[in-house]
Chains A and B, each alone.
Chain A
Amino acid sequence: MKKVQPLIFELSSPGRKGYTLPALDVPDVPIEKLVPEGELRTVPADLPEVSEVDIVRHYTKLSQLNHGVDIGFYPLGSCTMKYSPKVNEQVSRLPGFAFAHPYQPEKVSQGALQLMYEMEQYLAEIGGVKRVSLQPAAGAHGEYTGLLIIKAYHLKNGQKRHKVLIPDSAHGTNPASSVMAGFEIVNVKSDERGGVDLEDLKRVMTEDVAALMLTNPNTLGLFDENIHRIAAIVHSKGGLLYYDGANANAIMGWSRPADAGFDVVHFNLHKTFSTPHGGGGPGSGPVGVVEHLVPFLPTPTVDYDGKKYFLNYDHPDSIGKVKGYYGNFGVIVKAYTYIRALGPDGLKKASEDAVLNANYIMRNILGYYDLQYNRHCKHEFVAAPFRIMKDTGVKTLDIAKRLLDHGVHPPTVYFPLIVHEALMIEPTETESKESLDYFINALNAIAKEAYENSEIAKTAPHETVVGRLDEAGAVRKFNPRWRREA
């Protein structure tokens, strides 16, 4: 029976130890002779004192309270919760990868450098770009890096452009990254087909606009049929086109962003390329660019001189560094292994199946759920319970919480903002038909139940270890850490 667990601090008992260390083997010198006494801690850090068995039981029992891709369906829109192959985990732990120091000599790091060099080439091919930096640690980090590259490019051409265009359906990181990069945001409306409204774009596209940020397919799961026209409008005023790769799982081998006119492309290795989500990270957000933007990439790049791989710091126009060292190498190893496992046909099939699965779910819930845009979707779609809400008062939040009772993680809710009460569903290609059917049946059953007895959904979840949590209370009575009672 799953139960709420105590905090590790509540299991602590003075004197217990969970570790062993070898005894000091060099001549002992009192600490006060090595470190000025005034710099020493006055009060020890109040860390727990627990034995190893208590530690293992604590984390093991606690872990059972969590959902994960390895446990069940996780259809979060724009997150691409696909299965993480275990061989990726295994190889990332090889000592030659896990225990390499970033400053060790390059001549004894050729395996790591070759992996990064090849990874760059694979991503460049998938995106249609010239070169890729593996340095950004996450998608938002990649966006930020891409925007700084765009800024540097315009400045090098003697232009200080102040604005970035962002569609009203965009993920929150897009405007946040733009502001951090020093830009002002201008919203671009969507049209009735769910794509960028070309007339609105023409109106807002000026020579003060540095870039338009797009994800394609967008957060509605719709591929913009005007993408080449959009690129032409932006380029005609000297602007650049930025591709947010969050939804790249829909198009691998079917369409390449740079071919459509994108100048800067970022990928989320923890989405499209299967690296595990880790409870929120680590991710990796490589950013690729077309030829005229290559000089501005972060430094160093990984290059090959015909005989050996090396870190190239000779980039006078580089934007510099966005983090220490070269990138989230351990994550890159997993994504590299995934690409080598699938090969070109496997990647294309992954996108194909992702699109198939999403459309399958979409068409089979239309009995109860509504679509704002009635088109074939790509790897994800947005539905809303308009009829259910009107007739029963049951809202998206309630449906999400009731899904938990069915053992399914809810889809993304209340995003994108342009669809009221949105349910954003992305199954990914690694779900079987049985898994999809289970989800379809659950969604339809919840809808039916709402008409019969709406209270059940409104007070859900009922079967989880904790019920609805007081989130307002968590803000008003802010409690971000445990404190020992005096």
Chain B
Amino acid sequence: MLRSIGVKSIEELFADIPKEVFFTRRLNLPGAMSELELQKHLGSLAARNANAATHVCFLGGGTYDHFIPAVVDHVISRSEFYTAYTPYQPEVSQAVLQTIYEYQTLICELTGMDVSNASMYDGASAVAEAAIMARATTGRNKILISKSVHPEYRQTLTTYNTGLEMEVVEIPFKNGATDLDAVKTALDDKTAGVIVQSPNFFGVIETPRALVDPVHAAGALLVVIADPISLGLLEAPGTYGADIVMGEGQALGNPMSYGGPHLGFFATREKMARRMAGRIVGATVDNRGQRGFVLTLQTREQHIRREKATSNICSNEALNALAAGVYLTTMGKQGIKEVAELCVKKAHYAARKIEATGKFKLAFDAPFFKEFTVKGNACPCKVSDELLKHNILGGLDVGHWYPELQGHLSFAVTEKRSKQEIDELASVLEGVQ
């Protein structure tokens, strides 16, 4: 091979590296391992982590232990799906393109919207993209965001804002939900968008529909961050008038994976499709008259529009979106409703049992979905340690993010939690000093 290139040694191919920057020593990394050694080493690292297979998980905060049907991993393990690249050559990428089109349809159905993108990194970064889209659509520079939105989502928006330089105003919450009057007072002709979450970080089901008229009257966009599982039961925000519906899609067939890779889903109305970031797959026909799928509206994206692109996003969470698509297809029309109902009923049972201990009380007199916040006298770290002794993961220390809510804990109860597990949770909580 070297001969056909016309060189005598491989070093000649690296000769253009100036000697000042030529790396002369050996990389200081551990030596190569055989496959067997890798399995042992990684196995030992994994074994030192508690996880939902060894512990009962009542933790939430945006990442949830939901049931994942076996068929999901089976499908995403097919080589054609996971070793494919972005479908820029559509003739040999119809599987990826069609499954994204199906995913987009499923998200639109859940959210009540016209167009979805092919995924974003996660719920937190998707919030920042929503702010960018609100600005691009309205030409205005101010965002109102509720303090009941996940703290890491708000923190991510703040970080993105050092680049965007928008005015971001946080709206207080009252009784566990966005203070709607405060939103109406803060709305003005500089507001590009209002961002609320329902169910919110505390698990409370809010009423974003009450904001549709005032937000639109002010000429701004209403952005609703939604829990996709909850949309099996709760009204689709698109139906009541939201302009952008987005959020964290990990709960749809994706493992918790210590925080990533997760899935940012994002949907909007057809007339705003050009302002939406992320890849979009569209249906079309080929030169033989057959239906086919292609990436469309590509001129929004960085590889064409460059500095004028809607966003810099290139790689997304395609395989996680495929998992979500398989999940939603498998659960189907009946299943998504059944999952949501199981979550709600079990969460309320758990809340009742926990209150019955006398040690904790629901913090907010507000409806909740699968997650709820309680207040007690015990220090949250003591609660967490005690639960850990019984191989239970929970509750989330809400006071860590909200200084005014010291001693508040939240618990998430999904369809995976049995009555026995919930009863034991309550029993251990009763014993906490």
When A and B assemble into the complex, do they touch directly, with CB atoms less than 8 Å apart? yes
A-B contact pairs, 24 of them (CB 8 A): A8-B102, A25-B418, A42-B239, A60-B78, A81-B85, A89-B82, A97-B46, A99-B256, A104-B50, A140-B315, A179-B309, A253-B27, A279-B96, A323-B122, A326-B258, A331-B261, A340-B41, A343-B33, A355-B13, A359-B13, A415-B303, A469-B293, A474-B283, A480-B283
User: Taking the complex as formed, is B403 at the interface, i.e. its CB lies under 8 A from any CB of chain A?
Assistant: no
A279-B100, A325-B63 known, 18 other contacts, Cβ within 8 Å: A4-B290, A17-B332, A34-B367, A47-B331, A59-B78, A70-B79, A97-B46, A137-B122, A151-B162, A228-B18, A320-B158, A359-B13, A376-B12, A404-B91, A410-B89, A479-B282, A480-B104, A482-B105
User: Taking the complex as formed, is A486 at the interface, i.e. its CB lies under 8 A from any CB of chain B?
Assistant: no
Instruction: Tell me which of B23, B152, B308, B415 contacts A21 (CB under 8 A).
Output: B415
User: Taking the complex as formed, is A276 at the interface, i.e. its CB lies under 8 A from any CB of chain B?
Assistant: yes
A363-B258 Cα distance, complex, nearest whole Å: 46
CB within 8 Å for A48 and B156 given contacts A4-B290, A101-B256: no
B57:A62 contact, CB within 8 angstroms: no
Instruction: Tell me which of B81, B339, B341, B369 contacts A63 (CB under 8 A).
Output: B81
State the total of A-B contacts with C-beta under 8 angstroms: 657
Instruction: Tell me which of A79, A282, A466 contacts B320 (CB under 8 A).
Output: A282
A279:B18 contact, CB within 8 angstroms: no
A91-B348 Cα distance, complex, nearest whole Å: 37
A348:B27 contact, CB within 8 angstroms: yes
A97:B258 contact, CB within 8 angstroms: yes
Q: Tell me if A's interface is mostly helix, strand, loop or mixed.
A: loop
- Interface size class for chain A? 35 or more
User: Taking the complex as formed, is B207 at the interface, i.e. its CB lies under 8 A from any CB of chain A?
Assistant: yes
Residue numbers in B under 8 Å from A459 (CB-CB): 287
A172-B314 Cα distance, complex, nearest whole Å: 9
Chain A CB within 10 Å, residue with most, of B46, B234, B369: B46
Number of interface residues of B (CB under 8 A): 197
Instruction: Tell me which of A122, A181, A469 contacts B285 (CB under 8 A).
Output: A469
Instruction: Tell me which of B27, B89, B163 contacts A144 (CB under 8 A).
Output: B163
- Whose C-beta in chain A lies nearest to the C-beta of B48? A111
The interface-forming segment of A254-262, A286-294, A382-390 is A254-262
User: Taking the complex as formed, is A138 at the interface, i.e. its CB lies under 8 A from any CB of chain B?
Assistant: yes
CB within 8 Å for A323 and B121 given contacts A45-B232, A464-B92, A474-B282: yes
The interface-forming segment of A50-58, A197-205, A233-241, A443-451 is A50-58
B307:A254 contact, CB within 8 angstroms: no
User: Taking the complex as formed, is A165 at the interface, i.e. its CB lies under 8 A from any CB of chain B?
Assistant: no
B315:A17 contact, CB within 8 angstroms: no
Q: Which of A32-87 contact B (CB under 8 A)?
A: 34-36, 39-50, 52, 55-56, 59-60, 62-71, 74, 76, 79, 81, 84, 87
A74-B108 Cα distance, complex, nearest whole Å: 33
Q: Which of B26-65 contact A (CB under 8 A)?
A: 26-33, 35, 38-39, 41-55, 57, 59, 61-63, 65
User: Taking the complex as formed, is B273 at the interface, i.e. its CB lies under 8 A from any CB of chain A?
Assistant: yes
- Whose C-beta in chain B lies nearest to the C-beta of A164? B307
CB within 8 Å for A319 and B162 given contacts A277-B86, A324-B152: yes
Residue numbers in A under 8 Å from B4 (CB-CB): 360, 363-364
A464-B270 Cα distance, complex, nearest whole Å: 32
- Whose C-beta in chain A lies nearest to the C-beta of B270? A478
Residue numbers in B under 8 Å from A276 (CB-CB): 82-83, 319
A21-B67 Cα distance, complex, nearest whole Å: 9
Contact with A along B1-36 (1 / 0, CB 8 A): 110111100101111111011110011111111010
CB within 8 Å for A340 and B85 given contacts A45-B236, A433-B1: no
Contact with A along B309-334 (1 / 0, CB 8 A): 10111111111101000101111111
Instruction: Tell me which of A60, A139, A152, A322 contacts B125 (CB under 8 A).
Output: A322
Instruction: Tell me which of B2, B75, B165 contacts A59 (CB under 8 A).
Output: B75
A91-B38 Cα distance, complex, nearest whole Å: 9
A109-B67 Cα distance, complex, nearest whole Å: 22
User: Taking the complex as formed, is A307 at the interface, i.e. its CB lies under 8 A from any CB of chain B?
Assistant: no
CB within 8 Å for A471 and B49 given contacts A325-B260, A479-B284: no
User: Taking the complex as formed, is A1 at the interface, i.e. its CB lies under 8 A from any CB of chain B?
Assistant: no
Residue numbers in A under 8 Å from B308 (CB-CB): 179
Q: Which of B257-306 contact A (CB under 8 A)?
A: 257-262, 270, 273, 279-288, 290-294, 296-297, 301-306
Contact with A along B66-89 (1 / 0, CB 8 A): 010101011101111111111101
Q: Which of A1-40 contact B (CB under 8 A)?
A: 4-5, 7-9, 12, 16-19, 21-22, 24-29, 31, 34-36, 39-40
